[in-house]
Amino acid sequence: MKFGNFMSKIGESPIQIGKDIKIDISGTTCMISGKEGALKFLIPSLLKVELQEGVVQVKTQKTNRQSRALHGLYRSLIANAIAGVQKPWQKRLEIVGTGFNVKLEGENLVFKVGYSHPVIFKKVEGIKFQTEGNNLVILSGSDKQLVGQIAQRIKLIKKPDVYKGKGIKYEGERLRIKPGKKTKTADAA
């Protein structure tokens, strides 16, 4: 099956940049900086990033399959970086369970989630930790991928239990709770 000269629809759309965003493109390096921080990208040689009057455009050098795949990806990565240096990305994690809590000690998070010892999650460069009450953690940073990755690592400290729902989950995440043995035997009788 032969594909034509189709280009990525996402990759073709231009990215509008604000006046407080500074973008420096030199060779295969793209540096994006704003009030919330700076992010640096290495652009593949198959792509070319152009900056014109407040608009960033990602273009392909070739029309092969790999360049089409990278076109939309790098356009999205650059758009996320521009959005992140203007307003930081956030993930909110909820700690659910009797006696489960979290607190901020210095720059580290300390979780009490049913283990015999508190779990300390150390500060990560580029991520800001906040807590609300004793059962909500807010992660924020300019790099969307890093924020999501750290949120997932925190969630893995105590995954939500499928029978009781206790553990660390994203705020607003709906869990599918399995029925226990007692419920199954009561229904069979």
Rg of the Cα trace of the chain? 22
Alpha helix locations (H) across 87-189? 144-155, 181-188
Domain 9-86 has CATH 2.60.40.10: no
- What is the average per-residue pLDDT within 141-151? 96
For residues 145 and 152, the answer to whether their CB atoms sit within 8 Å is: no
Q: Quick one: pLDDT band at residue 125, thresholds 50, 70, 90?
A: very high
* Cα(61)–Cα(42) distance, integer angstroms: 16
pLDDT, position 185: 66
- CA-nearest of 77, 89, 74, 83 to 21 is 83
Identical topology for domains 9-86 and 89-170: yes
Instruction: Give me the residue spans of the domains in the chain.
Output: 9-86, 89-170
pTM, to two decimals: 0.84
The pLDDT assigned to 42 comes to: 93
pLDDT in tens, 81-111: 999 999 999 999 999 999 999 999 999 999 9
Question: Which one is the CATH code of 89-170: 3.30.2080.10, 3.30.390.50, 3.30.930.10, 3.90.930.12?
Answer: 3.90.930.12
Q: Cα separation of 77 and 134, whole Å?
A: 34
